[in-house]
Structure 1
Amino acid sequence: MKHLLLGLLLLLSFSAKGIEVTHGPWICDMDSTSVTIVWVTDKPGKAWVEIAPDGPDHFYGKARPRYYDILEGRKVLTDSVHRVHIEGLKPNTKYRYRVFTQEVAEWRYDDWVTFGKTACTDVWRGKPHEFTTFPAQSREITFLVLNDIHERAKFMKDLCKNIDFKKLDFVLLNGDMSNRLRSQQHMMEAYLDTCVSMFATHTPLFFNRGNHELRGQFADYLYRYFPTNSGKYYRLQHVAGVDFLFIDSGEDKPDEDIEYSGIVDYDQYRVEQARWLRQLREEKKVGKYPLVVFSHMPPTLENWHGPYHMQETLTPELNKMNVSVMLSGHLHAFGYQKPNEIINFPNLVNSNNTYLLCRIANGKMEVDYVGLNGKDKKHFTFLMK
């Protein structure tokens, strides 16, 4: 009888447990007038963000506008990964924000829904999270590039210990942050929770897939955590007078390789991106601003199938775009190639043990290539065309 009562008490305490924010929030896909905020709760529910311009008033000083996680006209109630896209913001403006998720207590039929407890970030004892939209006009840009961390979250934190993230416009994760994707928790422990603790609540996290993000049972779910305005991993992102082109470079071995078990089609995916690049050029969506390209795999410096296929499909289109510089990873070593008969732009390859700190101003991009404790330091200057 005693054990039965104890079991009932445990059951009641579990059922009464409220919803909790377990990961995040983090900022992605920001421009001068919009932002996307993502977070995760331990239960599905109705999610929204409250937002307020920065000021001396308290966040509770008045009702703040709500922006919901909406899919095709319906507020999403069945997901625990919440993605709220906010538009109509002012350029170069600092905002405070707070995230909410209200659990679904009961869903009887049709749209007869009863909501339960709410999880939210604290603005009473703590401060609201903050971000600043990009300016609409050109100005100096500073950003950090990390890649090939391969689940070494502590190393990443140590590597960046001297970085003031609040002085950065964004941080680019340029691929292979994981070894493979097994589950949400695996990805969070591998790097994303650490990114949130270091910078991603206030500094936008731009994500570019590497070949290892293409592997594992959870790989098909990755986009849910890094949504983009284009709906694609490959995209064109404008920041304060510079266009950043994200190339989703795919796998390094042939699609037919036994390692992939016949489930991939990256050759066709690169062909698709080549058509998209051609369309960008023909529709004159590039060319007005200096262009920087991000690609996990460099199209040269490795004699494997993936780079060779990039040379057949992607680089001929990039060569017609007046690219200022490409930043890559993948090699787990420093690499640099000047313009040549294959690529008519420089390609700087960051290693797995260094970061790139990039500053664009006065028609140039200055890049510091820095390792742990300041070792392996190199400096590069690229003219912005």
Structure 2
Amino acid sequence: MKHLVFGLLLLFSVGAKAIEVTHGPWICDMDSTSVTIVWVTDMPGMSWVEVAPDSTDHFYGKARQRYYDVLAGRKVLTDSVHRVRIEGLKPDTKYRYRVFTQEVAEWRYDDWVTLGKTACTDVWRGKPYTFATFPARPREITFLVLNDIHERAKFMKDLCKNIDFNKLDFVLLNGDMSHRLRSQQHMMEAYLDTCVRMFATHTPLFFNRGNHELRGQFADYLYRYFPTKNGHYYRLQHVAGVDFLFIDSGEDKPDEDIEYSGIVNYDQYREEEARWLRSLREQNKVGKYPLVAFSHIPPTLQNWHGPYHMQQTLTPELNKMNVSVMLSAHLHRYGYQDPNEVINFPNLVNSNNTYLLCHIANGKMEVDYVGLNAKDKKHFTFPLK
């Protein structure tokens, strides 16, 4: 009898476990009037973000607005990765926010749903998180580029120990942040939890895939954690008077390489991306503002299939778009390429042990290339066209 009572008490305690926010939140895909906030809970539920201008006296007032995780008109109840798109914000404005997820206690049939306990981000004990939208007009921009960290989360933290993330407009992860994608927990431990602790609750995290993010059983789920407004990894992002072009460079080996077991089709994907680049130019969606490009794989390499195919598909379109500079990665070492017969724009390659701290002002972009050792430091100036 004693064991039965203990078992019932244990069952009750397990069943009474409250839903929890396990990862995040982090901010992505921001512009001057909208932002996406992402977080993860330990069970599915209905999620929302409550937002208020930072100028209000109290977070829980009439100024607070609620935005739900909605897909095609239905509030999402069956996912533990929550993505809330917030529209209609004011440019250049600071906001406070909290995230909430309410578990589904019972779902009998059709839409007869009973909601249960709610997880939130320190709703009574702590302060709300904050973010500031980008201005609609041009101004100075400062951002940080990291790449090829390959699961060295502690190294990334040490590398950035002197960075004041509150002074950055965004942080770009330019690919190969992990070796491959095995699971959600693997990705979180590899880099994303550390990014959240360092900056991503308040400074937008822009993500650009590397070739190693294309590998592993969990690779098809990556987009759920870094959603974009246009629904693609490749995209055009406007920030305060500058257009940033995200090139999704694909794999570096041929599609038929034995490593891929016949499950990839990146040649066709790059051809699709080239058509999208052409459409940007033909529809006059680029050219009004200076253009800075990001690509994990540099397009100037000659001896790998991926960059060679980029030269056949993506590079000719980029050469017609008046790119001021491209920042790339992949080589695990420093590299710089002046404009030449392959590309008509400069290409700066960041290593796996350094970051790029970029500042745009007065018609030019100043870039500090910085590592843990003073000898790693270099400085570049790129005029913006």
**Smaller-chain TM-score range?**
over 0.9
* Partner residue in 1 for 2:241: 241
CA shift for structure 1 position 61: 3.9
Letter in 2 for 1:52: A
The one-letter amino acid paired with 2:139 is R
2:32 aligns to what? Answer: 32
1:137 maps to which residue?
A: 137
Partner of residue 48, structure 1? 48
Match of 1:181 in 2: 181
Matched AA of 1:161: K
Q: Secondary structure at the match of 2:293?
A: strand
Map of 2:294 onto structure 1? 294
Which consecutive residues of structure 2, in runs of 5 or more, have no partner in the other structure?
none
Provide the rounded CA distance (Å) in 2 between the counterparts of 1:5 and 1:210.
54
Counterpart of 2:100 in structure 1 is 100
Give me the whole-angstrom Cα distance separating, in 2, the residues matched to 1:127 and 1:19.
20
Residues 100 and 120, structure 1, Cα contact 8 Å, conserved in 2: yes
Report the equivalent of 1:213: 213
Contact 1:159 1:373 in 2 (8 A): no
1:271 alignment counterpart? 271
Aligned to 2:150: 150
Shifted more, 302-311 versus 290-299: the winner is 302-311
1:275-316 deviation per Cα after TM superposition (whole angstroms, max 9, x unaligned)? 000010000000000000000000113520001000000000
1:167 corresponds in structure 2 to 167
Matched-pair contact (CA < 8 Å) for 2:52–2:63: no
Aligned to 1:369, the other structure's residue is in SS state strand
Matches of 1:245 and 1:105, distance apart in 2: 44
Question: Aligned with 2:358: secondary structure?
Answer: strand
- 2:228 aligns to what? 228
Query: How far apart, in 2, do the equivalents of 1:222 and 1:38 lie?
Result: 13
- Cα distance change on mapping 1:48 and 1:326 into 2, 3 Å: same
Q: CA-to-partner distance for each residue in 1:224-274, whole Å, 9 max, x for gaps?
A: 000000000000000000000000000000000000000000000000000
Does structure 2 retain, via aligned residues, the 8 Å contact 1:59–1:123? no
Measure, in 2, the Cα distance between the counterparts of 1:374 and 1:252.
32
- Letter aligned with residue 168 of structure 1: L
The structural deviation recorded for 1:55 is: 2.2
**Which runs of 5 or more residues in structure 1 are unaligned?**
none
- Equivalent in the alignment of 1:250: 250
Report what 1:311 is aligned to.
311
Q: Mark the CA change 1:225 to 1:150 in structure 2 (over 3 Å): closer, same or farther.
A: same
Q: Distance in 1 between matches of 2:380 and 2:301?
A: 18
Tell me by how many angstroms 1:31 deviates.
Answer: 0.2
Query: Residue 53 of structure 2 contacts residue 63 of structure 2 at CA under 8 Å; is this kept in 1?
Result: no
Q: Is the 8 A contact 2:56 2:63 kept in 1?
A: no
Give the residue type in structure 2 aligned to 1:326. M
Q: Superposition RMSD on alpha carbons, in Å?
A: 1.0
The whole-number CA distance in structure 2 between the counterparts of 1:100 and 1:109 is: 25
The residue type equivalent to 2:51 in the other structure is: I
Q: How far apart in 1 are the matches of 2:66 and 2:56?
A: 20
For residues 318-329 of structure 1, the aligned pairs below 5 Å read 318-329=318-329
**Higher alpha-carbon deviation: 367-376 or 355-364:** 367-376
Cα displacement string for residues 22-73 of structure 1 (whole angstroms, at most 9, x for unaligned residues): 0000000000000000000001000000000012512134472110000000
- Residue by residue, what CA displacement relative to the aligned partner does 1:187-216 show, whole Å, maximum 9, x if unpaired? 000000000000000000000000000000
Contact kept? 1:69, 1:85, Cα under 8 Å: yes
Partner of 1:75: 75
Identity of aligned residues (%): 88
